[in-house]
Amino acid sequence: MTSLTALPLDLDQLATHPGRVVVFADPDATLPRAAKRCDRLTKGAVARAVDSADFGALSPGKSLTLAYPAGMAARALQIIRLPRKATAEQMRRAGNSIGAAQGEDAALVALDTLPARDIALHAALRAYRYQAMKAAPKGPLGSLLMAVKDPDSAAPALDDASALAQSVHLTRDLVHAPANVLNTESFAAQIAGLADSGLTVEILDRDEMEALGMRALLAVGQASDNPPKLAILHWKGAEGPPLCVLGKGVMFDTGGISLKPGAGMEDMTMDMGGAAVTVGLMQALALRKAPAHVIGLVGLVENMPDARAQRPGDIVRSMKGDMIEVINTDAEGRLVLADMLHYAAERFEPRAMIDLATLTGAIIIALGHDRAGVFCNDDALAGDILSAAGTVGEGAWRMPLGAEYQRQIDSRLGDVKNTGGRPAGSCTAAAFLERFVPEGMPWAHLDIAGAALTKSESAHAPKGASGWGVLTLDALVRAKFEG
């Protein structure tokens, strides 16, 4: 990941830095001292640029770049439009502009007295590229040198930003990894390695889950040569009942016997997006030593067609004891989460549970790729999640739960069907999960099918895996579950 370093603002260094130099300006105010020094070095080029119609047309947070500016050693001088009293959203955009332009050389960012954390965080988030599968990968992206008035005061904020950005990048890397490289066993091994960051990690295998009665989860992966795993990550930075965060980890989803169409099936390497977010969040909490008690659970399976595969019409017993009629084997993630929700509630007696899953295509039809769907049985928890998402600039929208969706999944032969058909598909999926949440337990289901992987750049990321959810859940923990 691009490193973040705090150093004192040295106006003389603006002339000698060989990479990119970043300054800030507001056309309605006098130039800040770093921009003023660059203006003198370039014999007025900065002032001419800031006074231009091109710069005036920029929205706050966007930038104009002067290549190889005369009078400076820099490869480029990036001038970002930012009001003196910038909003959080404008500072996020400024960080995105810095990160989007990041190359393999170091960037010197003349923040001076601007708040360091948000700009640095979003610069680091945007400065990302996935190179692990390239035969000849490009070199790593260069450092971000954040030149500030008081480096000692800024250092903790940059450490915090670095922990978050590193964890979002981990989430993106996991989602991008192909299923022949990242499978249930290799992912479980990678999770076990997070014990080095201070997490306590347990990995349950097939026999242990069988003994617990997790037949719904096991049925999904019974046709795969990659064995199912349940990873449990503990972070105990405080006493009291934990928050449980649960991630769907279907490492590849063919649809099983209800085989998906071939077009686009290659994207089903991302069907473990909820698991990736859970792992990224847990790493972030450990890296920043969060004063919170949080347990992450990750159910890892692969949904394949085979002679051993479950069939449409099969009826399986969940850990809770409910008999699930499998109408469609492509509605498999909810079977994984059903057993996980019951297990987490029974074993850990949490304060609240939040699950994340790339669960339904229906949520993409409803909300597109800019927002995750939030289904929640508790108004206070729903409000807290939406507030956290708004704080960090991740899109989220509350979706309905209700008895009408429960009726849609009643089963004639068993207790519940795993799908109620096409109408309200994301709502009936959430209703199915709700049956495995104990009465009175605050619970939220985040359907991230649209937000997890995008075809164009998103708020904090280039196109591809976004890492949606790590920032939101970290902000939620800070606001409501610490102390």
> Known catalytic residues?
260, 334
- The angle at the Cα of 185, spanning 315 to 163, to the nearest 5 degrees, equals 110
The helix/strand/coil state of 301 is: strand
Distance CA 431, CA 437 (A): 10
Distance CA 337, CA 129 (A): 31
Residue 227, token pair as written in the block: 């064995």
Distance CA 265, CA 255 (A): 9
What's the Cα-to-Cα distance from 162 to each of 159, 224, 288, rounded to whole Å?
5, 38, 9
How many residues are given for the chain? 483
Residue 392, token pair as written in the block: 């960090």
Distance CA 1, CA 9 (A): 23
How many Cα atoms sit within 13 Å of 346 on the Cβ side?
A: 12
Is the CB of residue 326 less than 8 Å from the CB of residue 411?
Answer: no
* Cα R_g (the chain), whole angstroms: 24
- The angle at the Cα of 171, spanning 277 to 131, to the nearest 5 degrees, equals 165
Angle between helices 88-100 and 116-126 (to 10 degrees): 40
Of 213, 401, 460, the closest CA to residue 316 belongs to: 213
Phi, psi of 245 (to 5 degrees): -115, 125
Distance CA 110, CA 292 (A): 35
Greatest distance between any 2 Cα atoms in the chain: 81
Residue 1, token pair as written in the block: 């990941």
Give the end-to-end CA distance of the chain in Å, rounded to a whole number: 30
Beta-bridge mates of residue 325: 315, 417
Is the CB of residue 67 less than 8 Å from the CB of residue 76?
Answer: yes
DSSP alpha helices (H): ranges in 177-318? 184-193, 206-212, 215-221, 273-287
Cα 470 → chain centroid: 4
3-state DSSP helix/strand/coil % of the chain, to nearest 5: 40, 20, 40
